[in-house]
Structures are given as C-alpha cells and as structure tokens.
Amino acid sequence: MKFKNKVVLITWASKWIWRATALYFWKEWASVVVNYLNSEENAFKVVDAIKKMWSNSIAIKWDVSDENQVINMVNESIKIFWKIDILINNAWIIISEPILSKTLNQWNSVINTNLLGTFLCSKHVVTKMLDNNNWWVILNVSSINWTKYFSPDEINYDISKAWIIALTKNFAKAFSPKIR
C-alpha cells in the first residue's frame, strides 16, 4: 500500500504497458486518472478493472497537445480527487516517413503530442501540486531512440524524445526538492 491515498494521472494509460502501470497503482491503493485520446473502450476497461477492486478511477478523453483540454483535464481530476500527486507523461505518437517526404503537418503532430503535451501536462499539474502540502512526482517517458537507435524515417520522434530529457531536467531544477 505504498501509494494509498495518492492520486496518479497517466496520459494514454489505456494501452500497452501503461495499462499495466495503471493497474499497478491500483494494487497499491492509489486513485488513478486514465487519459485516452482514441481508445475509449480500452480506457474504460482499465477503469472498470480498477473499480472492481475497490479503488477509485476515472477515464478522461483529452488531447495533450491542446492547452485548453489539458487545463480542463487537470481541473476535472482535481474536482474529483482534490489533488494530483503523481503525473506520468506517456502520450506519444510516431509517424514513419522518409525525411524528405515528411510533411510539416506530420512533423508538428509528433512534436505537439510528444513534447508539447509533456510540457503542458507538467506545467498545469505543477501549478496544482504546489497548492497542496505533500510530496509529488512527475515521470516523463522518453526513449533510447534519441541516443542509440536513430531512425531517419522517425526523426521527429527521436528529436521529441531528446527534448523531453531537457524538459525534464529543467522542471527538476525549477521545482526541486518539492517535486521529483
């Protein structure tokens, strides 16, 4: 029960390992906010699994690259759970296209979801975290692609993941030791 009475917000928690992460926090008695964009059915499966086991959970659809939607998501989470203790920024997309064929729209879609989304969620959750007297954690998910497995067809993905490391270090410097 390491996370009893903690509230965890996980972006794009309806799929893959992040579904398992949401269920892990449930096993540790945390309340879980499951974000999704396109996988509503999967999101509600995660929420239903958590609720069956006596823990609180909600699913919220929002686009992490849209600041107004992020603000609404954070406010809705606070309205229901009164706080957010842990933020896991996991939302990402990848568009594989040869460098010289990649369109500006494809470039921006990846950067806006992967990097801008991480920034917006962190920014708006931090403002709420600093309002309560507790410990907080922000976990930003990057990738080894930015250091080892460069893929020219996925250049904007690789760059977005490298920039997430810089973003994370800057947030850590700005808000340490209150926020890890």
Catalytic residues: 157
Helices (H) and strands (E) in the chain, counts: 6, 5
For the chain, the 3-state helix, strand and coil shares in percent, each to the nearest 5, are 55, 15, 35
Q: How far apart are CA 132 and CA 34, in angstroms?
A: 22
Are 139 and 86 contacting, i.e. CB atoms less than 8 angstroms apart?
yes
Residues 6+ apart with CB under 8 A from 167: 115, 118, 119, 122, 140
Q: Report residue 95 as tokens.
A: 């568009």
Cis (ω within 30 of 0) for the bond into 177? yes
Three-class secondary structure of residue 78 per DSSP: helix
* Whether the Cβ atoms of residue 131 and residue 84 lie closer than 8 Å to each other: no
